[in-house]
Amino acid sequence: MRDADGVATLAAAGPDPGGSRQTIDFLGIRVDVLDTDGLRERVLALARQQGPHRVMYVNADCMLIAGKNAAYREALNRADLVYADGIGVVLGARLWGHRLPGRSTGADFMPGFCRDFAGHGIRLFLLGARQGVAAAAARRLCEQAPGLQVVGTHHGYFRPEESGRIIGQINRARPHVLLVGMGAPCQELWIDGHSQELRVPVLWGVGGLFDFLSGRTRRGPQWLLDHGFEWLCRLLVEPRRLWRRYLIGNVRFVFHVLWRRYAAGDRDRE
């Protein structure tokens, strides 16, 4: 079903999920309190409504970037849903007395979500990563979720002036969910800057997801991933690109969280 503006909408619109958000404020970022099942329910509900709805994630690296980049911070706080995809955010939030149910990592949940998308007739468009990677990820998802409709893919290395042409291509393909995998903060800023031109119910930043789904980047043993060491696996697989992010970034994040907690505690005592 499509409305007058040509926005793809599904028949049964659920209750407004934006109205029932349960969130915490973690270092100035509004983060939703929900587990992976809750995330799936919310995304399914948002995909049934007229958009644009912005779905974004945060991890320790994102929090550090958000501390310095006001446009990114505002884009996160304008989103309709922000979930924790890193264990650092879950543990850091605990220091402030907030309980997040856990982290939700796209490479783990996306094949399952896509089986639901297939069942509900929700169409996807994949934008991001190097030439051919999004298409390879789409093929893999369609194998894992029979019946899934991926209505288009495009790589993520384009100039700002090419955005209009790509947005036209996306709108003509009429997806319900646009996955944007161009890394933080680039993807969030692109989503935020173009959300009014995109006639898509859900605009979702997914980072390096297509690299993992396509098999271009290995992820590491499941038991390490399950115990909060995804960052270590990523560091071992791509040390030259990621050593600064994880070795320096993780230490900076711990100090940042402890310092902000200490400073807030001091203010409380005054």
156 binds ligand UDP (CB under 6 A): yes
Contact at 8 Å (CB) between 150 and 126?
yes
Could you tell me which stretch among 1-9, 75-83, 98-106, 205-213 binds ligand UDP (CB under 6 A)?
205-213
181 binds ligand UDP (CB under 6 A): yes
129 binds ligand UDP (CB under 6 A): yes
40 binds ligand UDP (CB under 6 A): no
Tokens 């409305």 map to which residue?
Answer: 3
Strands in the chain per DSSP E:
23-26, 29-32, 53-58, 81-84, 123-128, 149-154, 177-181, 202-205
- Choosing from 115, 130, 139, 174, the residue that interacts with ligand UDP (CB under 6 A) is 130
* Cα gap 150→162, rounded to integer Å: 22
- Choosing from 150, 182, 191, 213, the residue that interacts with ligand UDP (CB under 6 A) is 182
Nearer to ligand UDP, 118 or 166 (CB): 166
In the complex, least distance from residue 88 CB atom to ligand UDP, rounded to whole angstroms: 12
Write the CB contacts of 219 (distance below 8 Å, at least 6 apart in sequence). 107, 212, 225, 230, 233, 234, 237
In the complex, least distance from residue 137 CB atom to ligand UDP, rounded to whole angstroms: 10
Could you tell me which stretch among 14-22, 46-54, 126-134, 171-179 binds ligand UDP (CB under 6 A)?
126-134
The amino acid occupying position 219 is R
Nearer to ligand UDP, 45 or 170 (CB): 170
Could you tell me which stretch among 75-83, 95-103, 104-112, 203-211 binds ligand UDP (CB under 6 A)?
203-211
Contact at 8 Å (CB) between 210 and 191?
no
201 binds ligand UDP (CB under 6 A): no
* Cα gap 178→205, rounded to integer Å: 8
Concatenated DSSP letters for 112-169? HHHHHHHHHT-EEEEEESSTTHHHHHHHHHHHHSTT-EEEEEE-S---GGGHHHHHHH
211 binds ligand UDP (CB under 6 A): yes
* Helix (H/G/I), strand (E/B), else coil: 54: strand
Could you tell me which stretch among 73-81, 101-109, 161-169, 207-215 binds ligand UDP (CB under 6 A)?
207-215
175 binds ligand UDP (CB under 6 A): no
Q: Which residues bind ligand UDP (CB under 6 A)?
A: 128-130, 156-157, 181-184, 186, 207-208, 210-211
